[in-house]
């Protein structure tokens, strides 16, 4: 029998992905709440958090999300410093690429997201020595904000491997990659001296109300845990936990996929920033394949116009040769309890799509190198693609979920905000709009329904 004090905590955090670990980390390190149990039947960071592309950026079509990710990046930089560089942060930026010259809608969106702070948005109409210099040593020289490259000669010289038809590159500068797994590990290690560990247990039922009694399925059988407060950080299963508390959360799970493989043809430059082709396209097929695909209802969509948003980046060390490709074109929600809807056509689709911007990738169509990985996970998301971080209806219960495709980059701010909600401390001004309270703000919800979702 566990000692009685092990069966009673101040806060039970349900889920040991990036989000649950970050909430526990900030409870311990900022609020000195140490009677915390992190519950998960799986290894920490092994579900959605293991599938992340591990990219970060502060670019969003709305200032609330810009403030949220700016805050999170600052906290990541702090954790990186205090953990001796464990997060392996890079700062090559995000390059958003289009064949449209001077895309007014995208430039307006930058002003909406970044606000009017002078100097944050720099339109580059000609070659520019400062910009070129900042590319060579991004950690020390990359400014905040965004460089919008409108000059084709500048684009050619900065990014010679892109296809010739690129007319505009929006280069987001406070952006790059992190090791999300290392971030989770660093948080776990920092909590250990306070005695906070992940307990291997699945929450099966929740009874009572502040204090709650959790029914846990463990390797040893069914146990109970008493807790004053609950944090629901169950990723794709956040609705299951909410239902145990008598609440339905407005979230859905949409499966997204990636491939990674050794780029033995050196098709992608090792210093290329994370690059997103914004333009929609119709994939190129030969006439016979096109007819076959069009004839089958299951594959017909592959010959129809597809949305933009294909992304590509070098993966791992600068002297390595792995690359990663993704395309979040799926919009159909799935049941996360069912088998993962992995699509065997995905590697071929993403390679065909990506080779429009990176022509040398075409060498891999139908010839994906042995050892290539094809994997995926759920974007757990609200309709407006903003997260849910804050109080749930039942007293003493909180949610930190719906982190969609941005939960690695937003984990730190999510943890810091949620820990503040749990302890009744002040939250940053932007955080109110990320809680369920926003559904009571008709003007904000109408604005979000009109604006872009930033779900790349
Ligand atoms: C293909 C893909 C690419 C992505 N790329 C990026 C990227 O480049 N940058 C970025 O910032 N984000 C990215 N993301 C998003 C990011 O990975 C997620 O937002 C983040 O990992 C979500 O973390 P989480 O802790 O909420 O969920 P999870 O990691 O899924 O963790 C939830 C945990 O809760 C546990 N749990 C569930 N039910 C129970 C229960 N009843 N009892 C106990 N425990 C339970 C689960 O076992 C799980 O371990 C990507 C996501 C995908 C799918």
184 CB near ligand 1 (under 6 Å)? no
For residue 141, pLDDT beyond 90: no
Q: Residue 35's closest CA among 76, 7, 74, 3?
A: 7
Report, as an integer, the average pLDDT of 212-235.
Answer: 97
Alpha helices in 226-298 (DSSP H): 238-244, 287-295
Paired with 171 in beta bridges are: 95, 147
350 CB near ligand 1 (under 6 Å)? no
377 CB near ligand 1 (under 6 Å)? yes
Which residue among 359, 381, 403 closes a domain? 381
Shared-domain flag, residues 303 and 243 = no
20 in any annotated domain: yes
Shared-domain flag, residues 146 and 276 = yes
456 in any annotated domain: no
Distance (Å) from CA 15 to ligand 1 centroid:
9
71 in any annotated domain: yes
Looking at residue 452, what is its pLDDT?
61
Which residue among 366, 381, 396 closes a domain? 381
219 in any annotated domain: yes
Shared-domain flag, residues 31 and 59 = yes
* CATH number of the structural domain spanning residue 366: 3.30.9.10
* CATH number of the structural domain spanning residue 30: 3.50.50.60
408 CB near ligand 1 (under 6 Å)? yes
Shared-domain flag, residues 275 and 154 = yes
Q: How far apart are CA 246 and CA 369, in angstroms?
A: 49
Q: How many domains does the chain have?
A: 2
8 A C-beta contact, residue 229 and residue 10: yes
Shared-domain flag, residues 415 and 298 = no
Paired with 177 in beta bridges are: 55
Shared-domain flag, residues 107 and 222 = no
For residue 380, pLDDT beyond 90: yes
Looking at residue 431, what is its pLDDT?
98
Shared-domain flag, residues 335 and 441 = no
Q: Which of 47, 89, 259 has the most ligand 1 atoms within 8 A of CB, as the residue to mutate?
A: 47
Looking at residue 152, what is its pLDDT?
96
Shared-domain flag, residues 160 and 287 = yes
Report, as an integer, the average pLDDT of 171-183.
Answer: 96
Q: How far apart are CA 380 and CA 374, in angstroms?
A: 20
Shared-domain flag, residues 115 and 199 = no
Q: How far apart are CA 102 and CA 157, in angstroms?
A: 19
Question: H or E stretch including 113?
Answer: helix 104-114
In the chain, the percentage of residues whose pLDDT exceeds 70 is 98
Report, as an integer, the average pLDDT of 2-31.
Answer: 89
236 CB near ligand 1 (under 6 Å)? yes
- Structure-token pair, residue 92: 């090559």
Residue 202: φ, ψ to 5°: -100, 135
284 in any annotated domain: yes
Domain containing 286 equals 94-176+253-381
Shared-domain flag, residues 109 and 57 = no
From the CA of 55, give the closest atom in ligand 1: 8
334 in any annotated domain: yes
Distance (Å) from CA 408 to ligand 1 centroid:
8
Looking at residue 118, what is its pLDDT?
83
Report, as an integer, the average pLDDT of 427-455.
Answer: 89
For residue 416, pLDDT beyond 70: yes
360 in any annotated domain: yes
Q: Which of 48, 239, 326 has the most ligand 1 atoms within 8 A of CB, as the residue to mutate?
A: 48
22 CB near ligand 1 (under 6 Å)? no
8 A C-beta contact, residue 316 and residue 322: yes
- 38-88 confidence digits (pLDDT tens): 999 999 999 999 999 999 999 999 999 999 999 999 999 999 999 999 999
Distance (Å) from CA 174 to ligand 1 centroid:
23
455 in any annotated domain: no
Distance (Å) from CA 214 to ligand 1 centroid:
22
Helix (H, G, I), strand (E, B) or coil at 66: helix
Looking at residue 2, what is its pLDDT?
47
Shared-domain flag, residues 358 and 260 = yes
Can you tell me which residue has the tokens 């010289």? 157
Shared-domain flag, residues 189 and 66 = yes
């Amino acid at each position: 029998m566990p000692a009685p004090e092990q069966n009673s905590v101040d806060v039970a955090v349900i889920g040991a992905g990036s989000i649950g670990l970050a909430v526990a980390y900030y409870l311990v390190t900022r609020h000195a709440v140490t009677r915390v149990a992190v519950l998960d039947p799986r290894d920490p960071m092994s579900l959605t958090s293991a599938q992340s592309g591990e990219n970060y950026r502060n670019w969003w079509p709305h200032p609330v999300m810009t403030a949220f990710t700016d805050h999170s990046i600052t906290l990541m930089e702090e954790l990186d410093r205090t953990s001796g560089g464990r997060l392996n942060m890079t700062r090559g930026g995000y390059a958003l690429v289009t064949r449209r010259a001077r895309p007014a809608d995208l430039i307006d969106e930058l002003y909406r997201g970044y606000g009017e702070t002078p100097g944050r948005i720099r339109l580059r109409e000609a070659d520019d020595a400062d910009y070129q210099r900042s590319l060579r040593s991004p950690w020390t020289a990359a400014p905040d904000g965004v460089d919008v490259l409108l000059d084709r000669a500048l684009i050619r010289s900065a990014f010679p491997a892109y296809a010739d038809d690129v007319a505009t590159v929006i280069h987001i500068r406070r952006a790059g990659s992190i090791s999300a797994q290392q971030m989770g590990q660093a948080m776990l290690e920092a909590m250990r001296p306070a005695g906070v560990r992940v307990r291997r247990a699945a929450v099966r039922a929740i009874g009572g109300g502040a204090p709650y009694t959790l029914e846990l399925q463990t390797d040893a059988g069914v146990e109970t845990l008493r807790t004053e407060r609950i944090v629901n950080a169950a990723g794709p299963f956040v609705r299951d936990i909410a239902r145990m508390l008598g609440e339905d959360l407005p979230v859905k799970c949409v499966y997204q996929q990636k491939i990674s493989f050794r780029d033995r043809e050196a098709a992608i430059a090792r210093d290329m920033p994370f690059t997103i082709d914004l333009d929609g396209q119709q994939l190129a097929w030969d006439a016979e394949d096109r007819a076959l695909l069009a004839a089958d209802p299951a594959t017909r969509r592959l010959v129809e116009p597809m949305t933009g948003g294909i992304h590509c980046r070098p993966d791992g060390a600068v002297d390595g040769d792995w690359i990663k490709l993704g395309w979040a074109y799926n919009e159909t929600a799935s049941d996360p309890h069912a088998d993962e809807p992995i699509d065997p056509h995905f590697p071929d689709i993403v390679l065909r799509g990506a080779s429009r911007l990176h022509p040398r990738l075409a060498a891999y169509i139908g010839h994906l190198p042995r050892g290539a990985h094809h994997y995926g996970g759920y974007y757990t998301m609200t309709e407006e693609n903003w997260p849910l971080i804050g109080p749930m209806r039942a007293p003493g219960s909180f949610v930190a979920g719906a982190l969609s495709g941005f939960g690695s980059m937003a984990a730190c701010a999510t943890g810091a905000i949620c820990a503040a909600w749990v302890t009744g401390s002040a939250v940053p001004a932007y955080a109110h709009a990320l809680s369920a309270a926003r559904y009571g703000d008709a003007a904000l919800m109408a604005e979000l329904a009109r604006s872009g979702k930033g779900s790349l």
